[in-house]
Amino acid sequence: MKGVVFNVLENFTNETFGEDEFDKIVCESDLETKDPFVGPGTYPDSDLFKIVSKIVNVKSLKIDWALREFGRYLFPNLIKINPKYAKESKNLFDFLLRVDSIIHIEVKKLYQDAVTPSFIFSDITNNTMKVKYISNRHLCYLMEGLLEGASNYFQEEIELKQLRCHHQTGDDHCLFLITKV
């Protein structure tokens, strides 16, 4: 996982639960990483999972809620890093269609060790789209938050349904239906 995600998680945690809360959580977690997280660095996925699990346990939260909220917060912060792709997109669907074919390719050029999810789009109309989310990380709840964050960014209200979930079916993917409201 790229360091920028850890950096945004730190800001999210401190803004949501109080200053220095992230540092407390990190100190209480048995992480592989001993040094501070640096944006362009790459860190074990397990460290992110341990931090999020600790936050969820300490704050008595549900994991799906926490990941969704973090995804909503993460989206605009990722866009700030390189706003070009969002500005070049006409709307939410146009942006989503560019993520795998343009944005993830550019991310991999910058960070050769980056591991990005894959998306397969189907049943696209003016108002609906199905998105197959494929990732070994199985962070579908984070994906829900990212989609909601993207809809907020593009000021397009959506209804989001998860038609298939890896956590429930054991499939290698999750399937979302996005409907513009």
pLDDT, position 107: 81
CATH (one of 1.10.8.60, 1.10.520.20, 3.90.1520.10, 3.40.50.970) for 66-180: 3.90.1520.10
For the chain, which residues make up each domain, given as ranges?
Answer: 3-61, 66-180
Model confidence at 153: pLDDT above 90: yes
Q: What is the pTM of this model?
A: 0.92
Model confidence at 167: pLDDT above 90: no
Enclosing H/E stretch for 179: strand 174-180
Instruction: Give the CA distances from residue 81 to residues 15, 19, 47, 116, 165, in Å, rounded to whole numbers and listed in that order.
Output: 20, 23, 23, 16, 30
Instruction: Give the CA distances from residue 34 to residues 52, 124, 128, 144, in Å, rounded to whole numbers and listed in that order.
Output: 17, 45, 45, 30
Give the pLDDT mean for 159-175: 92
Using pLDDT thresholds of 50, 70 and 90, give the confidence band for residue 113: confident
pLDDT tens column, 69-95: 999 999 999 999 888 889 999 999 999
